[in-house]
Amino acid sequence: MLREAARGPRRPARGAALLVLFLGPFILLTVTFFVAPAIITAVLGLTDLDETFQGSFVGLQNFRGFLVDPLLPRVLLNTLVYVVFTLGFNVGMGLLLALLTTYLPDRAGTTFRAIWLLPRLTPVVVYGLLWLWFIDPTPYGLFNAVRTRLGVPPLDLISWSPWLVIVLVNGLIGASLGMVIFTSAIRSIPEDYIRAARVDGASNLAVVRHIILPLIRWPLTFVLVAQTLALLTSYEYILVVTGGGPFYDSTVYALYVFRRAIQNGDYGYGAALAFVLVVVGALAALVYWRVLRFGRMITEPKIEVD
Amino acid sequence: MAQTAAALRPWRTAAEVARRAQRARRRETVGRLSLYAVLGVLSLPLLLPYMWLVAAAFSKNVSYGLIPSGFTLENWRFLWVRNLGLVTGTEGRLPNIWQVVGNSLALAVGTTLVIVVVATLAGYYASRRSFPHRTAFLQAALMLQAFPSITLLVALFILLRSLNLLNSMTGVVLVIASLHLPFALFVMKGFFDGIPWDIEMSAMIDGASRLRTWYAVLLPQVRNGIAAIAMFSFLWGWTDYVFVLTFILKRSAWTMALYLSSVIGEYRFVDYGVMAAVGVFYMIPSLVFFVFTQQYLMQITLGGTKG
Amino acid sequence: MARIVLEHLGKQFGSVAALRHLDLEVAHGEFMALLGPSGCGKTTTLLLLAGIYRPTSGQILFDGVVVNDLPPQDRHIGMVFQSYALYPHMNVFENIAFPLRLLRRPPDEVRRRVAEVAALVQIEGLMDRKPSQLSGGQQQRVALARALVKEPTLLLLDEPLSNLDAKLRVLMRAEIKRLQRQLGITTILVTHDQVEAMTMADRIALLKDGLLQQVGTPDDLYYRPANTFVAGFIGSPPMNFIPARIEMADGRATLVGEGLHLAAPDALVPVLASRRGSEVLVGLRPEDIRLSPVPAEGAPQARILDIEPLGREMVVAVTVGRQMIVALADHGFGGRHDQPVWLTVPTGRLYVFDPATDARIA
């Protein structure tokens, strides 16, 4: 203790050194590769940078270009359908799975939940591979193999209903998040409430309706908000399975950004498109924060000595 | 009151009780069976493809898309053939699988190292020390964590290009690591938060400096946290697709994701066996992770409540 | 209003026997307490009665009808949980109305019954509040109301007073007892607090390790304990147990312990004579022991070890040789640490137990 006191005037410098050592790398990396790109996106959006990496400032031209982009309306429609239906599937399926598996004995429930977690844990490309095999338009694919067996001609699912495909592809991944969250929420409902409800005369269905569902409103909100945000901005799976096709029929907004910017090389325009998404993302993150009172997560440290 | 009580009571005689009991028993069995049935119907279609994948990887022929036959290891020739030929035979060949594996490992391990080191350091500091603008810092980190980083792809591409980090594992490592740092920070912070202050206080009273306290006393306590984010980081690096797709253009720098993607493109309507074999090979770390953490995953309470 | 019979009721959890062959009868409108230390099986019994657990052996009968296989929702029971288990997302009215809504009673009947029972437990003004806005005592009343609103066949109370502060506890004890008398509903209360059981119940069933030790009125258990466990559990401060030997001389029996000679009352002589010379445990309640500062005829001498003043009385611990004995003295007792005192048992109320079986001999 005396040693510490004797260090006196050196402490502020030492404190600063520790701060740099511990927080420095974090701050450096996140600012460079996380914060800066956000700003770059905004700046880029104001240029007409193309695949030759030459461009100049063009002000809001790109943004005005949205209005005359022939592909954009279809993309927006795709995005709307995709988000709404996949959200419904994710939340609905997640809830259903959670409810069903919590009524089973632990082992069985865990097994089913493990199966539903497989898609999420599979590398994107492998998951895409499995889907590609499933929807293969030749009789090699599972879907059409079954159809052939039943004497029905093969069907190219992607062409027939691109929306259905992208909703299911992402739905199977997304449902597992809701499932895990809802399961733990249901499990954390004190046993006494369920017992009291039974003694009060409630059947299983009544317990679900009157006790379980009302008490998981919080996690439900969380999943809705989190999933909406994720759906608006993710496109990996669609990219692998449909590539956004046929043509642009299964391209959602986030994928459109990728296709225009990275595949076509319209960096300026792409950045402008991305900028919209960045703003949406930032707003959603704010909502996330507000709605779920993340502030509770931060408490002051207790040791004040340096 | 006795009269109205009887009015509300749903049973009165032994026969009625027996009937109700029987009905309840039947409802229970039917309920349980239909539960299994529904879950089975929902889950089987998910399981089948994976079973097919493994089967097809070792089969010569996959008839009717489902039933494999003819055990073979031919599909795995990409492991020992110098360069797996492309079906079209026109352009250059696919890179050697072991070079690709090397790249993937470099990416995965690199990401893990960066994230573990940076997040543990920052997590400790954020958890146990006060510093100016601490609240603002944590709030900012929280917002970043919730933010969809994939939207920054275009900017990151341009950024990496100007830093001359395209086509290099370093670039991708830095990007993936940085984008996941806020999440990792909060996980580690959470673990540090869970250490009682008493331990640290008593170490300090015993004469240790804060730095020494950190690595001798606190670090061992958060071993689980480090293990957790190490596992996640490895997988993020190993399974990444979009970033490697965008930032890696040189064939020799390909990772497994790109290799498989190319194999799919080439062999898709010709030979599912090869595709499946590469797929299974690629999936091994994920499967290991899955098996080891199955129980643990079930117990995680996600989102919003971790302090 | 039902007669409850438990026949050889048992419950196993894996290899653990929580309850073993319990035989018990509760009469119409009786207030029965299930008393015992934690782990004795009393809560298990309650949950078996509620239908939340299924018995592994034995039967439960309501009015002569076996209800083993009847699920909780069909048993028409009211239960107050230790945690009250008030549904947090419903207000007081909705909580109480819940059982009636599940029975699909018409809305005005629901309103009427809820109002009636709310008046009964005096919570009329709290109808709109959520459980989190209520005090502990209020929550308990709401829980009671919810249990009573369907006019249950049987009322189950799981440690209803343990979460209340001392003052409220005394108040609610009287309240619940009054309510039970008024409504005449067969009630079974589970508690680990013997004062609760003694003051509220018509009869008490004392359990230990899943086995029934004794069932009877409070007086039965207090004055005629069946074994050392019952004797030691009922009464506070607990009974003293002193090892002694039965010695007979001239038709009189003396219980000889270390430094202690206690003359046994004549009534007990025949029983003791048949066991002359054997080792026994003598039970003495602290309130039956008198401490005298002056030597008394034939009274053993002891030294004061510790004095705990309790206001109107004092708990005095004394030592006789190496044996410690606890006695009660009134507040005028002027003794001090290490002073000698002399013990007498003026009431002649002592109990004799067989050390091998723990059963009471006399």
Please provide the DSSP assignment of C109-168 as one string.
Answer: HHHHHHHHHHHHHT-GGGTT--GGGS-HHHHHHHHHHHHHTT--SEEEEESTTTTS-HHH
DSSP class of C299: P
Distance (Å) of CA A51 to CA A59, A140, A265, B156: 19, 39, 4, 15
Q: Which residue among B181, B197, B211 places its CB closest to the CB of A26?
A: B181
For helices B272-299 and A124-135, what crossing angle results, to 10°? 120
Instruction: Say if the Cβ atoms of A198 and C79 lie within 8 Å.
Output: no
B contacts of A306 (beta carbons < 8 Å) = 210
Separation of alpha carbons A235 and A258, rounded Å:
9
Per-residue tokens: C210: 């899943």
Q: What is the pLDDT of residue B265?
A: 81
Rounded to a whole number of angstroms, the distance from the CA of A181 to the nearest CA of chain C is 20
Instruction: Give the CA angle between residues A260, A265, A270 to the nearest 5°.
Output: 45
Rounded to a whole number of angstroms, the distance from the CA of B221 to the nearest CA of chain A is 18
Q: What is the mean pLDDT of residues B145-172?
A: 88
Instruction: Say if the Cβ atoms of A274 and B155 lie within 8 Å.
Output: yes
For helices B97-128 and B134-146, what crossing angle results, to 10°? 150
Q: What is the pLDDT of residue C45?
A: 94
Instruction: Say if the Cβ atoms of B17 and C152 lie within 8 Å.
Output: no
Instruction: Give the CA angle between residues B51, B52, B57 to the nearest 5°.
Output: 105
CA-closest candidate to residue C55, choices C12, C3, C5: C12
- Give Dmax over CA atoms of chain A in angstroms: 90
DSSP percent split of chain B into helix, strand, coil, nearest 5? 75, 5, 20
Range in A53-57, A101-105, C68-72 the model is least confident about: A53-57
DSSP class of A35: I
DSSP class of C194: H
Tens of pLDDT, residues A239-286: 998 888 788 888 999 999 999 888 888 888 888 888 888 888 888 878
**Strands C313-320 and C31-35, bridge-based pairing:** unpaired
Dihedral of CA atoms A91, A92, A94, A98 in degrees, nearest 10, equals 130
Cβ atoms B260, B278 nearer than 8 A: yes
CA-closest candidate to residue B59, choices B234, B280, B221, B296: B280
DSSP class of B167: T
Q: Interface partners of A (3+ CB pairs, < 8 Å)?
A: B, C
B contacts of C184 (beta carbons < 8 Å) = 1
Instruction: Say if the Cβ atoms of B9 and C153 lie within 8 Å.
Output: yes
Instruction: Say if the Cβ atoms of B8 and C67 lie within 8 Å.
Output: no
pLDDT higher than 90, residue B98 = no
Separation of alpha carbons C117 and C123, rounded Å:
9
Which SS3 state, helix, strand or coil, does residue C5 take? strand
Main-chain phi, psi angles of B269, to 5 degrees: -100, 10
Separation of alpha carbons B260 and B101, rounded Å:
11
Residue A224: CB atoms within 10 A of its CB come to 15
How far is C-alpha C209 from the geometric centre of its chain's CA atoms? 15
Q: Please state whether A37 falls in left (phi above 0), alpha (psi between -120 and 50) or beta.
A: alpha
Q: What is the pLDDT of residue A233?
A: 87
- Numbers of helices and strands, H then E, in chain B: 13, 2
Range in A31-45, A83-97, C142-156 the model is least confident about: A31-45
> Which residue(s) pair with C280 in the sheet?
C244
Cβ atoms C17, C10 nearer than 8 A: yes
Q: Which residue among C74, C85, C103 places its CB closest to the CB of A196?
A: C85
Rounded to a whole number of angstroms, the distance from the CA of B102 to the nearest CA of chain A is 17
Chain C residue closest in CA terms to B22? C69
Separation of alpha carbons A298 and B139, rounded Å:
8
A279 in contact with chain B, both atoms CB, cutoff 8 A: no
Instruction: Say if the Cβ atoms of A202 and C103 lie within 8 Å.
Output: no
- pLDDT-derived band at A12 (thresholds 50, 70, 90) equals low
Instruction: Say if the Cβ atoms of B13 and C65 lie within 8 Å.
Output: yes
Separation of alpha carbons C160 and C142, rounded Å:
12
% residues pLDDT > 90 (chain A): 31
Cβ atoms B106, B248 nearer than 8 A: no
Higher pLDDT, A107 or A88: A88
- pLDDT-derived band at A302 (thresholds 50, 70, 90) equals very low
- pLDDT-derived band at B223 (thresholds 50, 70, 90) equals confident
Q: What is the pLDDT along chain C (362 residues), one digit of tens a residue?
A: 689 999 999 999 988 999 998 999 999 999 999 999 998 889 999 999 999 999 999 999 998 888 998 899 888 999 999 999 999 999 999 999 999 999 999 999 999 999 999 999 999 899 999 999 999 899 999 999 999 999 999 999 999 998 899 999 999 999 999 999 999 999 999 999 999 999 999 999 999 999 999 999 999 999 999 999 999 999 889 999 989 888 888 777 788 887 778 888 888 888 888 888 888 898 999 998 888 888 877 778 888 888 888 888 889 898 888 888 999 988 777 778 888 888 888 777 889 899 888 888 88
C contacts of A199 (beta carbons < 8 Å) = 50-52, 72-73, 75, 77-79
Which residues does A292 contact at the CB level (< 8 Å), separation at least 6?
A221, A222, A225, B304
CA-closest candidate to residue A176, choices B38, B228, B55, B294: B294
In chain B, the N- to C-terminal Cα span, in Å, equals 54
Instruction: Say if the Cβ atoms of C81 and A190 lie within 8 Å.
Output: no
Cβ atoms C75, C243 nearer than 8 A: no
- CA atoms in the 13 A half-sphere facing the CB of B15: 0
Q: Which residue among B4, B10, B11 places its CB closest to the CB of C151?
A: B4
C contacts of A190 (beta carbons < 8 Å) = 83, 85
Instruction: Say if the Cβ atoms of B282 and A123 lie within 8 Å.
Output: yes
Range in A94-103, B13-22, B116-125, B172-181 the model is least confident about: B13-22
- CA atoms in the 13 A half-sphere facing the CB of B38: 16
Q: What is the pLDDT of residue B127?
A: 87
> Which residue(s) pair with C211 in the sheet?
C208
Main-chain phi, psi angles of A234, to 5 degrees: -100, 150
Rounded to a whole number of angstroms, the distance from the CA of B50 to the nearest CA of chain A is 8
Distance (Å) of CA A139 to CA A130, B46, B62, B64, B269: 15, 20, 11, 6, 10
Residue C101: CB atoms within 10 A of its CB come to 16
Separation of alpha carbons B168 and B107, rounded Å:
10
Separation of alpha carbons A175 and A101, rounded Å:
14
Q: What is the pLDDT of residue C94?
A: 95
Put simply, the chain A residues between 208 and 227 with a CB less than 8 A from any chain C CB are 210-211, 214-215, 217
Q: What is the pLDDT of residue B85?
A: 62
- CA atoms in the 13 A half-sphere facing the CB of C327: 25
Q: What is the pLDDT of residue C202?
A: 95
Q: What is the mean pLDDT of residues A10-16?
A: 67
Q: What is the DSSP string of B87-119?
A: SS--S-PPPPHHHHHHHHHHHHHHHHHHHHHHH
Which residues does B57 contact at the CB level (< 8 Å), separation at least 6?
B75, B76, B273, B276, B277, B279, B280
pLDDT higher than 70, residue B299 = no
Rounded to a whole number of angstroms, the distance from the CA of B1 to the nearest CA of chain A is 19
Instruction: Output the pTM of the full model.
Output: 0.83
Q: Which one of B71-85, B119-133, B150-164, C192-206 scores highest in mean pLDDT?
A: C192-206
Chosen for mutation from B8, B19, B22, B25 (greatest number of chain C CBs closer than 10 Å) is B8
Residue B206: CB atoms within 10 A of its CB come to 9
Residue appearing with tokens 């066996």: B273
CA-closest candidate to residue B233, choices B136, B129, B105: B105
Assess whether the previous peptide bond of C237 is cis (omega < 30° from 0): yes
- pLDDT-derived band at B2 (thresholds 50, 70, 90) equals very low
Q: What is the pLDDT of residue B219?
A: 80
pLDDT higher than 60, residue A196 = yes
Assess whether the previous peptide bond of A246 is cis (omega < 30° from 0): yes
CA-closest candidate to residue C290, choices C361, C345, C249: C345
- pLDDT-derived band at B179 (thresholds 50, 70, 90) equals very high
Which SS3 state, helix, strand or coil, does residue A281 take? helix
Q: What is the pLDDT of residue A303?
A: 44
A contacts of B31 (beta carbons < 8 Å) = 204
Main-chain phi, psi angles of C223, to 5 degrees: -95, -20
Cβ atoms C343, C318 nearer than 8 A: yes
Range in A21-35, B39-53, B58-72, C177-191 the model is least confident about: B58-72
For helices B256-267 and A124-135, what crossing angle results, to 10°? 10
Instruction: Say if the Cβ atoms of B121 and A22 lie within 8 Å.
Output: yes
Cβ atoms B200, B214 nearer than 8 A: no
Separation of alpha carbons C251 and A119, rounded Å:
90
Q: What is the pLDDT of residue B87?
A: 55
Per-residue tokens: A82: 């995709």
Rounded to a whole number of angstroms, the distance from the CA of C69 to the nearest CA of chain B is 5
Which SS3 state, helix, strand or coil, does residue A302 take? coil
Q: Interface partners of C (3+ CB pairs, < 8 Å)?
A: A, B
pLDDT higher than 90, residue B108 = yes
Put simply, the chain B residues between 101 and 140 with a CB less than 8 A from any chain A CB are 114, 117-119, 121-122, 124-131, 134-135, 137-139
Q: Which residue among C75, C81, C103 places its CB closest to the CB of A196?
A: C81
Main-chain phi, psi angles of C256, to 5 degrees: -110, 115
Separation of alpha carbons A238 and A131, rounded Å:
11
pLDDT higher than 80, residue A195 = yes
